[in-house]
A and B are shown apart, each in its own frame.
Chain A
């Protein structure tokens, strides 16, 4: 009995020591140094059309994918894309599942409390779109700020209707598809979406969708890094500035957001 007690106490002591020693060792090294050492960059992306989404062959394509590929090329490392559920994208970064988020993440004060943002590499506009069949007489943004109007919001999205239309009602959904389906079914009056979703919706359903002009907000999207890493932040900022100045980022943005030539790579009608 004594031997067994000794054994079990010793075992629990070892276990405690193991967990104590297993504290993240990489807390002090900058992410850029880690990336160069491992010769691989892991990038967290969301799943939105046309930011980052699978094409007919199951390969990820999109604006973010192009940006990540260019970044990896310029750093001289291999790229690993990690598609992540949007709700878990920031917690996964903080837990160290990947090095950086390149996912059209809008800069907000809330988010800046947990992650560090680089300078913006992209600007989106937020639009309100209305279901013409449900509310045929709404044509301006002011009319949307009324208690009779219901919005469908996406949980975790920065474009929340409560901010811009405080008098309206809102319903929350997990993802883009369910949010849009609710709107198309006529169960909600309107949506707040970022470019180019409003144009894509209007093109696919011209008899239902009305885009309200002008856009209600302009947002800035940036890379997100774990906090406390000034070296990596500076390195990424330099990269973004370089490609904003040489026009490459704008050219890619126009291809994905303004043009529709990528549509034949996607399985659709």
Chain B
């Protein structure tokens, strides 16, 4: 029989495992109920997703939904920054120039060996103030007209929070960029020497070699690890809550404090992160399967 083609059969072991799992879950739920002096108040939560606004006569997103949108924005922009940084640093690590290789190796070495939270604090408190002042962010934002402000609001979230959103996204992107650089480097270096030699013997320049021969073979190998990094980025975005970016974890904390229903909020938020990450994982798996060079 070919591996993976065995028909699925429901046997005795499956039944035993399912019953044990059910008993385990029920036991945990009962224990939580008796040990924790807590009365569950799930009804308080739905209004924090969508609330009825009398003025506009429609449903308007409330804190948790706004936080979810901010997390999505952070992840997308952080991912773009990570890709850009990863390409740059990965390119540096593969370059024939020693100086560039050293810079790349230092960047990766430093960032991979610091905890992400420490890095986020460093970027937010030390670098961001310099950057925000240098590009005159506050004054630019204040002088924008309503359409421009609307575009900024959709892309980045509330303009008044821009000065914490940008450093947060930068910190996440630069942090993830180190790991993306390593994935890129590993992918390119995994192409066997024969490909490099053959292209060199055909007289291809370095850039053409990379573009036409090496990268098309390396990219499908990198989709798996890259998607891994992106999913991790989505979860690391929760660290931005400690630097006042109003993303999901931050809003969860706000809602939890004001409704005093901390557990319900955390469970719901964990569920939201799960849906987000699992959705992304599914997307990336489909992307991997459809890749033409995997020969399937």
User: Shortest distance in angstroms between A15's beta carbon and chain B's nearest beta carbon?
Assistant: 12
Residues of A within 8 A of B138 (CB): 38
> CA of A269 to CA of B42 in the docked complex: distance in angstroms?
10
- CA of A268 to CA of B66 in the docked complex: distance in angstroms? 21
Q: Is A53 an interface residue (CB 8 A)?
A: yes
CA separation between A10 and B161, bound complex, in Å? 35
Residue among A97, A208, A269 with the most chain B CB within 10 A? A97
Chain A, Cβ-Cβ closest to B124: A95
A176 to B125 CA separation, bound complex (whole angstroms): 25
Q: Mark B177-197, 1 if CB is under 8 A from A, else 0.
A: 000000000000000000000
A184 at the interface (CB under 8 A from B): yes
Chain B residues with CB under 8 Å of A8's CB are 99
Q: A40-B142, A96-B129 are in contact. Are A268 and B253 (CB under 8 A)?
A: no
Shortest C-beta distance, B168 to chain A (Å), equals 12
Interchain nearest-CB distance for B111 vs A (Å): 18
Is B268 close to A, CB under 8 A? no
- The reply to whether A95 and B129 form a contact with Cβ atoms under 8 Å apart is yes
Task: Kindly supply a per-residue 1/0 record for chain A positions 26-45, scoring 1 wherever the CB is within 8 Å of any chain B CB and 0 otherwise.
Answer: 10000000000010100000
Any A CB within 8 A of the CB of B293: no
Q: Does A135 contact B (CB under 8 A)?
A: no
The answer for the CA separation of A88 and B66 in the assembled complex, in Å, is: 22
Quick one: CB contact mask for A77-97 with B, threshold 8 Å, 1 for yes? 000101111011001100111
A49 touches B257 (CB 8 A): yes
For B259, the closest partner residue in chain A by CB is A267
The docked-state distance in angstroms from the alpha carbon of A55 to that of B163 is 25
Find out whether the CB atom of A91 lies under 8 angstroms from the CB atom of B37: no
Which of chain A's residues have a CB closer than 8 A to the CB of B250? 83, 85
- B70: CB under 8 A from chain A? no
Task: Flag A184-214 by CB within 8 Å of B: 1 or 0 each.
Answer: 1110000000000000000011001000000
Q: Which residues of B contact A58 (CB under 8 A)?
A: 48, 51, 62-63, 66
Contact (Cβ within 8 A) A97 B244: yes
**Interface pair A91/B125, CB less than 8 Å apart:** yes
Assess whether A186 is in contact with B129, with CB atoms less than 8 Å apart.
Answer: no
- CB pair B243 A88 closer than 8 Å: yes
CA distance A48 to B253 in the complex (A): 11
Number of B residues, CB within 8 Å of A: 46
Q: Check A177 for interface membership: any CB of B closer than 8 A.
A: yes
Cβ contacts B147-172/A at 8 Å (1 or 0 each): 00000000000001101100000000
On whether the beta carbons of A178 and B243 are closer than 8 Å, the reply is: no
The yes or no answer to B134 lying at the interface (CB within 8 A) is yes
Which residues of chain B have C-beta atoms less than 8 A from A175's C-beta? Answer: 253, 257
A38 CB to nearest chain B CB (Å):
7
Contact B253 A47 (CB under 8 A): yes
* Binding-face segment, A16-24, A63-71, A156-164: A16-24
Determine if B257 and A48 form an interchain contact, defined as CB atoms under 8 angstroms apart. yes
Point out the residue from A18, A88, A91, A204 that lies within 8 Å of B260, measured CB to CB: A204
Interface residues of B (CB under 8 A from A): 35-38, 41, 44, 47-48, 51, 53, 62-63, 66, 97, 99, 124-126, 128-131, 133-134, 138-139, 142, 160-161, 163-164, 241-244, 246, 250, 253-260, 262
Q: Which residues of A are at the interface with B, using a C-beta cutoff of 8 A?
A: 4, 8, 18-19, 21-26, 38, 40, 47-49, 53-58, 80, 82-85, 87-88, 91-92, 95-97, 175-178, 181, 184-186, 204-205, 208, 266-269
List 12 additional contacts besides A25-B133, A56-B47, A268-B44; criterion CB under 8 Å.
A24-B129, A47-B257, A53-B257, A54-B258, A56-B51, A57-B53, A92-B243, A97-B129, A97-B244, A181-B36, A186-B37, A266-B259
Q: List 12 A-B contacts (CB under 8 A).
A: A8-B99, A22-B134, A48-B257, A54-B255, A58-B63, A58-B66, A83-B244, A97-B129, A175-B257, A177-B257, A178-B262, A268-B41
